[in-house]
Amino acid sequence: MTLAIAVFVLVTAGLARLEHRLHQHHHEPLQHWWIEQGLLPLGRVFALMLLIGLGYPDIFGIDDAPSLRALLQAEPGRFDQWINILFIVGLLLPALPLLHRLPGLALPLQGLAGVAVVFSWLRSALNIDATLIPPRAEMVLLLLLAALASAAAKLLSLSVREPVLRQDLRDLVLLWLQAPLVIVYARMLGNALRP
């Protein structure tokens, strides 16, 4: 799990540096749109996939499970499906009216979707009937963690005066604080796999 978190932190830090450099340069409107709506979200998708993939199966709190490769190869197109679900969720969630007002919630929900996809394959491979929705108390905990992550990211970025750099720092901290939320959700799901 440590390797997965370290790689996630390094990749997202690299993405944040790239994003900041891209923001410093003035681009044509179409180029700017492609960077903001295509390139950067796709980078975040791959960072999430690395966190989940490198952390598997430990991310679910289990030791014995089919390999991720076996899960991906169980049906054709699963890898593409995983990428597409994460990418579409990442693009559509910020457009929802409620999440537009709560921007710190979109990234964690994208991470939870990534874990849910892999868990659905795992429960199918193990022939276990388990839900993707945790009990109410655990769901409240996830929402509180997401809200705390958003508030912490905002608070940590307040000391930066330059607006673009402040937003870039906020986004990076929010990405980093997404990892514990994803791991907590995965462990909640993994509870159904343990006797």
How confident is the model over 22-56, as pLDDT tens digits? Answer: 767 766 777 777 777 778 888 888 999 999 999 99
Tokens of 137: 């108390």
Winning range, highest mean pLDDT, from 67-76, 106-115, 161-170? 67-76
pLDDT at 83 over 80: yes
* Domain boundaries along the sequence of the chain: 2-193
What is the spatial distance between Cα 13 and Cα 21, in angstroms, rounded to a whole number? 12
- 68: three-class secondary structure by DSSP: helix
User: Comparing C-alpha atoms, which of 76, 80, 81, 82 is closest to residue 56?
Assistant: 82
pLDDT at 186 over 90: yes
What pLDDT, on the 0 to 100 scale, is given for residue 105?
A: 67
Contacts of 160 (CB under 8 A, 6+ apart): 166, 169
CB count within 10 Å of CB 180 equals: 14
What pLDDT, on the 0 to 100 scale, is given for residue 64?
A: 87
pLDDT at 137 over 80: yes
pTM of the shown model:
0.84
pLDDT at 73 over 90: yes
Angle CA 35–48–115, to nearest 5: 135
Confidence band for 100, pLDDT divided at 50, 70 and 90:
low
Work out the average pLDDT over 86-113: 74
pLDDT at 122 over 90: yes
118 contacts 55 by C-beta, under 8 angstroms: no
- For residue 36, the 8-state DSSP code is I
Residue type, 96: L
Q: Is 19 left (phi over 0), alpha (psi -120 to 50) or beta?
A: alpha
Residue type, 165: L
Work out the average pLDDT over 128-152: 83
Q: Is the dihedral of CA 54, 48, 58, 169 positive or negative?
A: positive
- C-alpha distances (whole Å) from 124 to each of 81, 101, 119, 183 are 16, 36, 8, 20
